[in-house]
Each structure stands twice: as C-alpha cells, then as structure tokens.
Amino acid sequence: MAMDLDVALERLTEFEIYRNKFAEAFPEDENPINADNLAYSIAAFERTLNTPNSPFDRYLSGDENAISEQAKDGMVAFVDNGCIACHRGPALTDSQFHAIQVPGSKDLGRYTVTGEESDKYRFRTPTLRNVAVTYPYMNNGATETLEEAVAVMGKEMLGREFEEQTINDITAFLNTLTGEMPEFEIPALP
Ligand code: HEC
C-alpha cells in the first residue's frame, strides 16, 4: 500500500496480537515479524479469500434450479458469442493479456511494464467471479454498469453490436457468479 516495508514491519511489531500470532506461526525465528514472514502471511491470508457456492457453482454441481432460465440463456450466449475464448476455466479468465482500448482510456497497459511495442494497450483478462459486485469496470473504471461492460466487450473484443435482450441475458448469467464472501475480524489499532 505504498508504505515503506521497514515502517510497516515496525508498525506490525506494535500490535500485541501480531507479535503473538507471528511467534506462533514462525516458532523457529528469533524475530518472527520480518519481511519474508510478512510475505508468507499475506500470501496465506490471500489463499483464504475464496468466494465459493455461487448460484453458478451450485448449478454446475447439479442443482438445475440454482440459476434462472434467463441466466441459462445468457450462459449459452456467453459461450456462443465467444466470451469464453478469454473468460474460461474456474476463474473465468485465461490469465493472458489482450489488446483493448476501452472508451476514454489512455492507459498503455502491459507496455508500461515491459516496454515492448506489441504490449501496447494489452490488459490481463480479469476474473468474472463476483463481477456483479465489483463495479465500476475496465482498466479506467469508466464503465459503470454490467450491461454497459457486456456491450463494450461485444463491440471491442468481438466486433458485435448486441441486441438488448442478449445484453440482459448475459448480464443475468454474470449475476450468478457472486459467491459467499469470507468473514474475518480486523484487529483494533493499539
Ligand atoms: C479477446 C479476449 C476477450 C474476449 C473475447 C472477451 N473479453 Fe471480457 N475482458 C477481456 C479483457 C482483457 C478485459 C479487461 C479490459 C480492461 O481492463 O480494460 C475484459 C473485461 C471484461 C469485463 C469487465 C470486468 C472488470 O472487472 O472490469 C467484463 C464484464 C467482461 N470482460 C465480460 C465479457 C463478455 C460478456 C464477453 C463476451 C461478450 C467478453 N468479456 C469477451 C478479454 C476478453
């Protein structure tokens, strides 16, 4: 979060709860609150951030009534129109970079990191899990609704102008990808 690492470690050391928890998690270390252990801890925490049991997951595991008829039409449209070429697999992403210039964005994308001409305007395909609750959309956050995002994708990625019905169906499908949020307590500042 742009905080100097040494300052962050010092700050953590001020919390009794973190002193105890780090000592518990890394009993071999004399100074358990260090940069490596912080990285391990954050990574271990992030691995718990799963959002299982979305209506679509329940549908996939056999509950045919877990999603609406409209969402099923949307799922078919999602596959037939080729969204699945990039948004596929358990997280609905191919984890690849694709060139896209969404309306209003001046971001050069992956090029900013690699300096390779061919990486200009390339962005990684985002997961679509929980997409209904993670607005606004696209790399510049200028797309406010899911309907708009579906229309932009149709136009920019597939060269298609979708009918309103198709947009609404695909949106209904995307709404079935919202899972159960993990619960955790944030320790009070000392
Ligand atoms: C060629 C690959 C490709 C195809 C095909 C594609 N997408 Fe995407 N999608 C992307 C990329 C890359 C982004 C990120 C764009 C950005 O950040 O500006 C994205 C972003 C999105 C977003 C916004 C997610 C967010 O959190 O901001 C939605 C929703 C979405 N796509 C849905 C669809 C739908 C629906 C289709 C089919 C109509 C589709 N996509 C087709 C690659 C693709």
pLDDT digits (tens, 9 = 90+) for 8-48: 999 999 999 999 999 999 999 999 999 999 999 999 999 98
Average the pLDDT over 139-157 and give the result: 95
The pLDDT tens digits of the residues spanning 43-76 come to 999 998 899 999 999 999 999 999 999 999 999 9
Average the pLDDT over 137-161 and give the result: 95
Please list, in sequence order, all residues whose beta carbon lies within 8 angstroms of the beta carbon of residue 142, skipping any fewer than 6 positions away: 102, 103, 104, 105, 136
Distance from residue 26's CA to the centre of ligand 1 (Å): 41
* C-alpha R_g of the chain: 21
- The verdict on the CB of residue 129 being under 6 Å from ligand 1 is no
Nearest-CA residue for ligand 1 atom 28 is 149
- State yes or no: pLDDT of 189 exceeds 90: no
Nearest-CA residue for ligand 1 atom 19 is 125
The pLDDT of residue 1 is 67
With cut-offs at 50, 70 and 90, classify the pLDDT of residue 187. confident
The ligand 1 atom at the shortest distance from the C-alpha of residue 98 is: 12
Report whether 141 contacts 119 (CB < 8 A). no
